[in-house]
Structure 1
Amino acid sequence: MSDTTALPGTPRTTPRPGDPPMHRLEVRLPDQVPFAAGTFDTIGPMSRAAFPHRHTFYEIVHVTAGTGTHVVDLARWELHPPHLGLILPGQLHHWEDTRGLDGSVVLFTEAFLLDHPGDRDLLRRLGEHPWLTLDGPTHARTGRLMAELVEEYGHGADGFATVLRSLLHVLLVRTARLRGPGTPAPPPGRPAAVAEEFDRLLARTGTDGRSVRAYAELMGVTPGYLTEAVRAATGRTPGSLLRDARTREAQRLLARTELSVRQIAARTGFSDPAYFCRFFRRETGTSPGDFRKHHDRRAPSIEAGGPPA
């Protein structure tokens, strides 16, 4: 998906002056599964990056040892392991003055959430309380799940992607049970509230072919204000998130149904199947037919010693 996964060597989008780096999950082949799991060591030095940066993917960290501080946007958490943390796409984060940082890391894009589309809403809710200190039993259960994810990813046996999605779903559901009371919603009209409303609308109607301008009119704001609000909250534009939503649904339908490409095009807001095929190839690097054939094929998203996350 554009700005989400990319082949090594693909030119990176140049940040605007003053913007922090935006990191992508790099893949070797277009039909790879956009997922990676490992330790801080095997994922690579960027998993401990000490400079502020953003991701186009989700990151879950299970910190089992270390001292220092984890900083996400304007929030700072001192390390007193064990912890479970979530970094959402677009959030600014870095590790500060860490020593002995150890644990497990899981990276994935929204395109990975084929079997459990509701996990996207779970992740949004978990993002309200993204840093948890775990008690003994919860730490042990989380450690077992993270270890299974790392092992399944490493082996890459037949059906590994389906197993990974199931294990990830269990991890998210169990983590959602741990979070505290929800924080009050920001007042309507503020940029964060506008971005959240756009996210909710996108989850319900992102495949009906509406334009960004149509969403702005529906929300009672200008397209320019919607763009600035969403960019401030996620580091991305409404248009790119809208393309992601349509691509995710197309991937889900290709992987999980027998609908024809023409039918899937119609269901994702495209009246012209040929244009849909061009859109899909541009966003994913592969054709709808090839994606359907190879979507569960083993190929690591990040290799030890390979490109940085």
Structure 2
Amino acid sequence: MRGTTVLPGATPCRAPREGVLPMHRLEVPMPNAVPFAIGTFDTIGPMSRADFPHRHTFYEIVHVTAGTGAHVIDLARCELRPPHLGVIAPGQVHHWEGVRGLAGSVVLFTEDFLLDHPGDRELLRRLGERPWRDLDGPTHERTARLIADLDDEYRTGADGFATVLRALLHILVVRAARLPGPAPVPPLTRPAAVAEEFLRLITRNEPALWSVSGCAERIGVSGGYLTEAVKAATGRTPGRLIREARTHEAKRLLARTDLTVRQVAGRVGLADPAYFCRFFRRETGVSPGDFRRGRDVGGEKHHDHRLQSIVLPRPSA
């Protein structure tokens, strides 16, 4: 992708290693380059059709014009019957499943690129909750023309092209938000289903989901009911599991990237680095610095940064 690279200290998103959910990052190497890329599934590269679960730190909009198989996002499986328009938000887990003949366009951009249109963040958040849209003939043609304009502007790079890209992207987001989405999912009522949805949400690393009340509101149940359901299914409280998820994400960032402690604190929703250090020490027994240097509670060197998965217990036979 032209003008893109990975964050310092991180590696590009490759095939998964055991126990590690890949995180794909998008960053530009030059001050004047824009955190944006567009192309076909072929020109963007093999990661655009990755068949293993992974997450992004950026937004991805896909305009699927051909292909068979399925796209899976946050466990929801969408059969391909093009044309489609899909939106993947930062932190959402997704992959392509059994695809053949996949064709279309891919638009990648960071949240920083929405500077001129801050209201688009809320539109994209809502699109990420119901991300797959079927397109009728006229809407498909209009979407194709708009994406072609984006692609031409990006590749030409004429004076003021970044401003034009932002304007065209704004139009694409607003039009996508107007499209009818799938029928709303009925509210979850079974305790096991509520607990499973809660465990899915807390892996998304969204600030709004770092609280029991935020998760309960997203699922559509009361905080008390969520606590009962999660405790019955896992033996732990939602608050305990949220702290574990935050700690796991902080460990992953400290072990796998060169982000500063302040940056890691921000990524897990703790703006105060001092509070983050106290939180991390309370949860792990070591400071963020010692963990990054590979020292355990007793001061001995260690090298195993694998993180325990948060899963529902298997039913007993």
TM-score by length of 2: 0.59
Separation (CA, whole Å) in 2 of partners of 1:11 and 1:196: 20
Q: 1:13 to 1:184 in 2, by over 3 A?
A: farther
CA distance in 1 between partners of 2:136 and 2:161 (Å): 30
| 8 Å CA contact 2:67, 2:82 repeated in 1 | yes
SS of the equivalent of 2:123 reads helix
SS in 1 for 2:170: helix
In structure 2, the partner of 1:25 is 26
Q: Which residue of 2 aligns with 1:78?
A: 79
Equivalent position to 1:225, from 242, 259, 270: 242
Match of 1:158 in 2: 159
Alpha-carbon distance in 2 for matches of 1:168, 1:240: 25
Cα distance in 2 for residues equivalent to 1:239 and 1:13: 20
2:208 match = 199
**Matched letter for residue 10 of structure 2:** R
Q: Distance in 1 between matches of 2:266 and 2:32?
A: 24
Q: Mark the CA change 1:229 to 1:176 in structure 2 (over 3 Å): closer, same or farther.
A: farther
* Cα contact 1:128–1:183 (8 A) shared by 2: no
1:130 is matched with 131
What does 1:26-175 align with in structure 2 at a 5 Å threshold? 26-175=27-176
State the match for 1:253 in structure 2. none
Measure the CA separation in 1 of the matches of 2:206 and 2:89.
Answer: 17
Q: Distance in 1 between matches of 2:109 and 2:86?
A: 14
SS of corresponding position for 1:25: coil
Query: In the superposition, relative to structure 1, how do residues 34 and 99 fare at CA in structure 2: closer, same or farther (>3 Å)?
Result: same
Contact 2:6/2:25, CA 8 A, preserved across alignment: no
CA RMSD of aligned residues (A): 3.8
CA–CA distance in structure 2, aligned partners of residues 83 and 43 of structure 1: 18
Q: CA deviation at 1:71?
A: 1.2
3-state SS of paired residue (1:11) = coil
SS at match of 2:103: strand
Instruction: Give the aligned length.
Output: 222
Residues 226 and 238, structure 1, Cα contact 8 Å, conserved in 2: no
Equivalents in 1 of 2:165, 2:51: separation in Å? 29
- Supply the distance in 1 between the matched residues of 2:240 and 2:116 (Cα, whole angstroms): 33
Aligned-residue offset at 1:143: 0.8
Q: Residues of 1 paired with 2:187 and 2:164: CA distance?
A: 35
Shift of 1:53: 1.4
Structure 1: runs of 5 or more not aligned: 202-220, 246-309
Residue 12 (structure 1) aligned with residue 4 (structure 2)? no
Q: Deviations over 1:165-186 (max 9, x none)?
A: 1111111111111134655788
Aligned-partner SS, 2:142: helix
> Shift of residue 199 of structure 1?
3.1
**In 2, Cα distance between equivalents of 1:173 and 1:101:** 25
| Separation (CA, whole Å) in 1 of partners of 2:36 and 2:206 | 28
The secondary structure found in structure 1 opposite 2:30 is coil
The residue matched to 1:141 in structure 2 has which SS? Answer: helix
- Secondary structure at 1:62 match in 2: strand
- Match for residue 258 of structure 1? none
Q: Report which structure shows greater RCO (CA 8 Å, sep ≥6).
A: 1
How many Å apart are 1:78 and its aligned residue?
Answer: 1.2
Taking the aligned partners of 2:7 and 2:56, their CA distance within structure 1 comes to 18
- Provide TM-score, normalisation by structure 1: 0.60
Deviates more, 1:13-22 or 1:69-78: 13-22
